[in-house]
């Protein structure tokens, strides 16, 4: 649409940013809701990230999303963080307030849980133990979201065990912390009695070997999800579907994490629909 001079503007900061699906996603909503607004890719090199974040207010941006590799680097440029960003230690959404102050939020965990809730009717984190594979940046948001959503037990396994130990320690959930770190070599057995299996490792992503885990001990009712969405159906999700476990791909996490930012910047609570999903996928 043709913008007026009052158009609301937001964008996504990344380096590189050309692979980001966010402009297509937010662009679809802007068009669908007929909003006088724009959402643009912002290619920000690492040494320019602090200046770029501060410039959001100067330029009159409503805010921005933040993607790889800037999610932690933007923090010193922000005036405050919401509880999720503080606990996850990373920001994916920035809001410029009326007074020019900058707030960092993290909606990745929200996106993760909403994807499962909306894909599988009646899904609840509290239903049983969760197994989370991987302890990188993506695992952090998943762990916080699952703990906050009431998962009674979270079994965390990472190839490098120390990294999982460190992550569990940093979550700061004290004695009531549901996270238990197990050895990577124990991953097949760790699936016993699980209600949810989440892959946050890079295994199964295009160009990487498949995730090496035997699903035999996993109950048939357990939900299996991968936060990777390239390919949409990872070998893990295919193996899960073949044994009739419910399986949810990672694209929905991307779509749902975008909702709070869009609403804050453009004043409309957007819906995730099958049509939107198709449109974002067609973007390659
Ligand atoms: P991100 O921050 O985006 O999640 P990352 O920090 O590179 O990405 O994390 C990648 C995850 O995939 C890590 O948990 C990594 O395990 P290590 O901490 O041991 O590196 C995991 N990973 C990568 N290659 C793996 C492999 N061949 N087998 C098992 N896990 C692997």
Model pLDDT for residues 10-21, shown as the tens digit of each residue = 999 999 999 999
Per residue in 66-116, pLDDT tens? 999 999 999 999 999 999 999 999 999 999 999 999 999 999 999 999 999
Task: Name the residue of 72, 106, 134 to mutate for ligand 1: max ligand atoms within 8 A of Cβ.
Answer: 134
Rounded to 5 degrees, φ, ψ at 133 are: -100, 125
Preceding amide of 16 cis, omega within 30: yes
pLDDT band at 1 (very low <50, low <70, confident <90, very high): confident
What's the pTM value of the predicted model, to 2 decimals? 0.96
Task: Name the residue of 135, 136, 181, 212 to mutate for ligand 1: max ligand atoms within 8 A of Cβ.
Answer: 136
Ligand 1, residue 137: give the atom nearest the CA.
2
Helix residue ranges, H only, the chain: 22-32, 49-58, 83-88, 108-119, 137-148, 161-170, 187-190, 235-242, 251-257, 259-266, 274-282
Q: Is 163 in the pocket of ligand 1 (CB under 6 A)?
A: yes
Mean pLDDT confidence for 143-154:
96
CA 261 to chain centre: 13
């Amino acid at each position: 649409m043709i913008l007026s001079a009052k158009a609301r503007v937001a964008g996504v900061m990344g380096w590189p940013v050309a692979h980001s699906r966010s402009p297509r996603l937010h662009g679809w909503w802007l068009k669908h809701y007929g909003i006088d607004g724009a959402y643009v890719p912002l290619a920000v090199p690492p040494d320019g990230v602090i200046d770029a974040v501060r410039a959001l207010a100067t330029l009159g941006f409503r805010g921005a999303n933040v993607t790889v590799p800037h999610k932690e680097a933007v923090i010193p440029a922000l005036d405050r963080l919401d509880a999720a960003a503080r606990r996850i230690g990373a920001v994916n959404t920035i809001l410029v307030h009326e007074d020019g102050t900058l707030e960092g939020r993290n909606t990745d965990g929200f996106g993760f849980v909403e994807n499962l809730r909306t894909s599988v009717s009646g899904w609840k984190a509290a239903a049983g133990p969760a197994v989370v594979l991987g302890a990188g940046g993506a695992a952090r948001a998943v762990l916080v979201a699952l703990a906050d959503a009431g998962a009674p037990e979270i079994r965390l396994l990472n190839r490098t065990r120390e990294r999982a130990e460190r992550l569990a320690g940093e979550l700061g959930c004290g004695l009531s912390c549901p996270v238990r770190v197990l050895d990577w070599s124990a991953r097949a057995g760790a699936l016993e009695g699980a209600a949810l299996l989440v892959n946050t490792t890079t295994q199964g992503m295009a160009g990487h070997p498949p995730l090496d885990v035997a699903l035999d001990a996993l109950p048939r009712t357990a939900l299996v999800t991968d936060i990777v969405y390239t390919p949409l159906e990872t070998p893990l999700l295919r193996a899960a579907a073949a044994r009739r476990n419910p399986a949810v791909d990672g694209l929905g996490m991307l779509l749902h994490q975008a909702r709070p930012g869009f609403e804050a910047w453009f004043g409309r609570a957007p819906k995730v629909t099958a049509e939107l999903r198709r449109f974002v996928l067609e973007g390659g």
